[in-house]
Amino acid sequence: MIFAHAFIGMIIAFAYESVYRGKGVFSNPRQKMALWTSAILGSIFPDFDILYPIFINTQADHRELLTHSMIPYLFVLALIIGGSRLHQYTKIQASVIAVFFIGILFHLIGDSFVDKVYLFKPFSNFSFQFEHSQIDKNKGFLGYFHSSFMLAESMISLLGFGLFIKSFANFHKQFRLLLSFIAIIEAGVFIALLPFLYSFN
């Protein structure tokens, strides 16, 4: 998956918010913003490693780096859970943490539709990848653009954005702030991917 990660974060935030609807949780604009921002950040977080092949090693495949492995995230999550014995998290704080890590999980799942993901690095070189024989890699980005996966990304993006509009219908200031944030993310994704749009190897 290339373009829809942030929109998956929106779907996660909306689903999580729906669980607590009518219970007075996330009705506060700040709480709502924290939840949605965390879910979106989590869903794009592993791709911050794109800076490594751009600025340090142009031959590196960013999906083979530790940031695309579950191990460091499980380690951090274990520390957070362990820390809960010293600091009792509120329902809001726990939710914000949860959607961040759920976003990361769905990012790794999404990437496995496009390329190999090394889920257990550095302990194992086992890689996981869904079959994507429909993509004509000889056509580079156009091969992906004309595949069913691009259609799936488009549908996910439309769904995520629709849920975002629905959820923030009565929060105009927060809507504008988050919309600007999302626009910056998507612009950054496109710019960062420009050198890689012709190959998925």
- Cis omega (within 30 of 0) for bond into 122: yes
Q: Would you say 113 and 107 are in contact if contact means Cβ atoms under 8 Å apart?
A: no
The helix-helix angle for 5-19 and 91-111 (nearest 10°) equals: 140
Digit-coded pLDDT (tens) for 146-192? 777 788 889 999 999 999 999 998 899 999 999 998 898 888 877 76
pLDDT average, residue stretch 28-48: 92
pLDDT average, residue stretch 89-96: 87
Digit-coded pLDDT (tens) for 75-89? 999 999 888 777 778
**pLDDT value, residue 162:** 95
Q: What percent of the chain clears pLDDT 90, i.e. is strictly above it?
A: 37
Both structure tokens of 71: 């191990």
Q: Is the pLDDT assigned to residue 21 strictly greater than 90?
A: no
CA 70 to centroid of chain Cα atoms: 14
Where are the chain's structural domains?
Answer: 5-196
Q: Which residue has the higher pLDDT, 88 or 46?
A: 46
Q: Would you say 94 and 54 are in contact if contact means Cβ atoms under 8 Å apart?
A: no
Q: Average model confidence (pLDDT) for the chain? A: 83
pTM here?
0.85
